[in-house]
Amino acid sequence: MYPNDPISVLKEVALSDHWSALRVLIVDDDVFQRSVVSKLLQLLGISRLGAEGDGHAAEARLAEGWDLLILDLNMPEMDGIEFLNILAGLEEKPALILFSGEDQRLLEVAEDLARDLGVNVVGSISKPIDRDKMTRLLDRVEIKAAAVEQTFPVQDELSEAEIRDGISAGALRLVYQPKVDALTLDLVGAEALLRWETPDGRRLGPGAVIPVAERSDLMQSLTRAVFSMAMTQLRDWQQLGHRWKLSCNFSINDLMQPEVVADLEQIISQAEAPAELVILEVTESKIAEDVSSVLSALTRLRLKGFGISIDDFGTGFSSMEQLRKFPFTELKIDRAFVAGAQQKPSARAIFESSVNLAKLLSISSVAEGAEDAEDLALCRELGVDLIQGYFIAKPMPPEEFLAWALKRGH
């Protein structure tokens, strides 16, 4: 099952302090495997290590504040799946790498389960240890750590009154995440993303705002305010000579309003922003709630020159029918099928078929969640048009976005 001399592969690894700050706990019932993984991590510059042979012993050490957990799936007494449920109950969860001798498909299923439980999964490795894969995943731990270091804290939802007053008081802020050409990495456009600034200067994410707005009568006001700000930004870019496209997310509730087309036309007219540079992103899984109303609105908006993107493609239940019926100009492939897809045959299959489908329909494909060079390489191999993800850039405030773009020569 193992190479004749598995330790020999470790001798080729140069000492590195790149990950020296990481605190890593290895959970595996196989003493030999624990030893091999420990030696590899030490040679990579990681000295803050712990190792346990079963889930119960590891559970007792979770309070020690580990940054990364390397977890075997098949263990006696408490297996890895049971342990995932323990992790799910933690307020502060370590990042997770699954390390197992099970087949790749089972590893993928376990990864998906862990993500559904709110665990930050950076990938999996099939036994025996793969040095190159481990280093790539350690790099991804850093990227994901950066990704969750938002400028806003996790908190409970705002109240309806706070949102209503905040819209009027100018609490809305927008950040912009670049979308680049997959081959040249040239900047093509950006997605506008919502942030909220409280009276005491804290930044909150969309999760504190949007669910409340969707449950109340505030979604229309919120969307109009965000769209107006985005169109003003688009005008400013144009005045500087930049014809970058700008994507904005739209709620199904908005698209079912009879006045939505007239409202958006009025906003872009006031901002002097051309519709052909605007992409409206609609989440796939919610489109089917009122097909006729949404189809009518999107078709009218497309006739006005707006681009229409189907967001989070692959996560809904009627993708093919929706692509046939709706006037989409862009297919945005969900990050679940992009990040780490090189090592996930089922995710890669869905990723590849989605890209091919976009080509056959003559619409642009966008890969969300490209987080490392391996993801980028696969995007290029499959013929993706545009990519968006932390490997390219995080969402940035307007001034930072412009500085980033100009530094790259755009």
Q: Which stretch of 66-75, 138-147, 349-358 has the lowest confidence by average pLDDT?
A: 138-147
Considering the domain boundaries, does residue 51 fall inside one? yes
Q: Which whole number is the average pLDDT over 210-223?
A: 89
pLDDT band for 146, please (50, 70, 90 cuts): very low
Residues 118, 180 within the same domain: no
Considering the domain boundaries, does residue 245 fall inside one? yes
Instruction: Give me the CATH number covering residue 23.
Output: 3.40.50.2300
Considering the domain boundaries, does residue 221 fall inside one? yes
Considering the domain boundaries, does residue 1 fall inside one? no
| 222-239 tens-digit pLDDT | 999 999 999 999 999 999
Residues 144, 164 within the same domain: no
pLDDT band for 120, please (50, 70, 90 cuts): confident
Q: Which stretch of 101-105, 161-165, 319-323, 404-408 has the lowest confidence by average pLDDT?
A: 319-323
Write down the pLDDT at residue 157.
82
Nearest to 337 by CA among 133, 126, 115: 115
Using the 3D structure, point to which of 115, 148, 181 is the last residue of a domain: 148
Nearest to 221 by CA among 267, 279, 286, 272: 267
Residues 226, 295 within the same domain: yes
Residues 260, 302 within the same domain: yes
pLDDT band for 214, please (50, 70, 90 cuts): confident
pLDDT band for 156, please (50, 70, 90 cuts): low
d(CA 69, CA 98): 8
Q: Which whole number is the average pLDDT over 259-266?
A: 93
Write down the pLDDT at residue 2.
38
Residues 131, 103 within the same domain: yes
Q: Which whole number is the average pLDDT over 346-357?
A: 92
Instruction: Give me the CATH number covering residue 354.
Output: 3.20.20.450
Considering the domain boundaries, does residue 289 fall inside one? yes
pLDDT band for 288, please (50, 70, 90 cuts): low
pTM, full prediction: 0.73
Write down the pLDDT at residue 130.
78
Q: Which of 16-25, 120-129, 137-146, 262-271 has the highest mean pLDDT?
A: 262-271
d(CA 16, CA 265): 56
What are the residues facing 172 on neighbouring strands? 196
Q: Which whole number is the average pLDDT over 258-263?
A: 91
Residues 244, 381 within the same domain: yes
Considering the domain boundaries, does residue 153 fall inside one? no
Q: How many domains does the chain have?
A: 2
What's the whole-number average pLDDT of the chain? Answer: 85
Residues 53, 200 within the same domain: no
Radius of gyration of the CA atoms of the chain, in A = 23
Q: Which whole number is the average pLDDT over 180-187?
A: 96
d(CA 155, CA 158): 9
Write down the pLDDT at residue 14.
38
Residue 113 belongs to domain spanning: 6-148
Q: Which of 27-41, 42-56, 138-152, 269-283 has the highest mean pLDDT?
A: 269-283
How many other C-beta atoms are found inside a 10 Å radius of the C-beta of residue 399?
8
Higher pLDDT, 76 or 401: 401
pLDDT band for 364, please (50, 70, 90 cuts): very high
92 has pLDDT over 90: no
pLDDT band for 286, please (50, 70, 90 cuts): low
Residues 132, 167 within the same domain: no
Long-range residue pairs from 55-63, CB within 8 A, at least 24 positions apart, any chain: 55/27, 55/79, 55/80, 55/82, 55/83, 55/86, 58/25, 58/27, 58/83, 59/83, 59/86, 61/25, 62/86, 62/87, 62/90, 62/94
Residues 177, 243 within the same domain: yes
| 48-86 tens-digit pLDDT | 899 998 888 889 898 888 989 999 888 887 888 888 888
Residues 140, 166 within the same domain: no
Considering the domain boundaries, does residue 170 fall inside one? yes
92 CB burial (10 A radius; 0-12, 13-18, 19+): exposed
d(CA 392, CA 383): 17
Q: Which of 140-144, 171-175, 314-318 has the highest mean pLDDT?
A: 171-175
Considering the domain boundaries, does residue 380 fall inside one? yes
Residues 69, 28 within the same domain: yes
2 CB-near residues (< 8 Å, 6+ apart): 32, 128
Q: What HEC string does the chain produce?
A: CCCCCHHHHHHHCCCCCCCCCCEEEEECCCHHHHHHHHHHHHHCCCCEEEEECCHHHHHCCHHHCCCEEEECCCCCCCCHHHHHHHHHCCCCCCEEEEEECCCHHHHHHHHHHHHHCCCCEEEEEECCCCHHHHHHHHHHHHHHHHHHCCCCCCCCCCCHHHHHHHHHHCCEEEEEEEEEECCCCCEEEEEEEEEEECCCCCEECHHHCHHHHHHCCCHHHHHHHHHHHHHHHHHHHHHCCCCCEEEEEECHHHHCCCCHHHHHHHHHHHHCCCHHHEEEEEEHHHHHHHHHHHHHHHHHHHHCCCEEEEEEECCCCCHHHHHHHCCCCEEEECHHHCCCHHHCHHHHHHHHHHHHHHHHCCCEEEEECCCCHHHHHHHHHHCCCEEECCCCCCCECHHHHHHHHHHCCC
pLDDT band for 287, please (50, 70, 90 cuts): low
Q: Which stretch of 141-145, 166-170, 405-409 has the lowest confidence by average pLDDT?
A: 141-145
Write down the pLDDT at residue 351.
94
Using the 3D structure, point to which of 99, 116, 148 is the last residue of a domain: 148
38 has pLDDT over 80: yes
pLDDT band for 1, please (50, 70, 90 cuts): very low
Residues 283, 395 within the same domain: yes
Q: Which residue has the tokens 């997310």?
A: 249
88 has pLDDT over 90: no
